[in-house]
Amino acid sequence: MLPDTPTVSQLSHVISQAAAPAFLLGALAAFIAVLISRLNRIIDRAIFLNGIPDEDTVRSRLKADLPRLVQRAVMMNRAIFWAVIGSISISILIIVAFVTAFFDVQHERGVAILFIVSLGAFTVSLVDFAREVRIALSEYDHYG
């Protein structure tokens, strides 16, 4: 048997509490788009370098950049993974907030844990992003 429908006051309270996580979810979505764009650039550069024939002595030296590109791609992939984990936990947090309001259940601890998980995943993603940027700027790309 379902409990009574939450009042407008209860729902407005839940909506106001879900506003901050919703903004974080939007920020994470934009951040994921930036990460994917950078990963695509890395992949495009690796494809270009792999396409240089070994007989081309002038440009074959550019292939020395491939190990660094692989390392950058791994870091971008890991950053995307953690940003997605953060987004999923924020989405679950918003769902939990509304479901617990509907069933009139205390949810503060669960929501706090999900928010901490999300921010932790976002932080790990930012660290990987910063490491990738540092590698990208440590040596200048040699364009042919």
Mention every residue, 6+ apart, whose C-beta is less than 8 A from residue 21: 90, 93, 94, 97, 115, 118
Q: What is the pLDDT of residue 52?
A: 86
Q: What is the pLDDT of residue 81?
A: 98
CA distance 87 to 143: 36
Which residue in this structure is represented by tokens 């590109």?
69
CA distance 101 to 128: 36
- For residues 49 and 62, is the Cβ–Cβ distance under 8 A? yes
CA distance 4 to 106: 16
pTM exceeds cut of 0.85? no
4-35 pLDDT tens trace: 666 777 777 777 777 888 898 999 999 999 99
38-81 pLDDT tens trace: 999 999 999 999 888 888 878 888 888 899 999 999 999 999 99
Distance between first and last Cα of the chain: 70
Provide the pLDDT confidence category of residue 3 given band limits of 50, 70 and 90.
low
- For residues 7 and 45, is the Cβ–Cβ distance under 8 A? no
Name the DSSP class of 52: S
69-122 pLDDT tens trace: 999 999 999 999 999 999 999 999 989 888 887 787 887 788 889 999 999 999
Take residue 61 and report the two structure tokens written for it.
């030296």
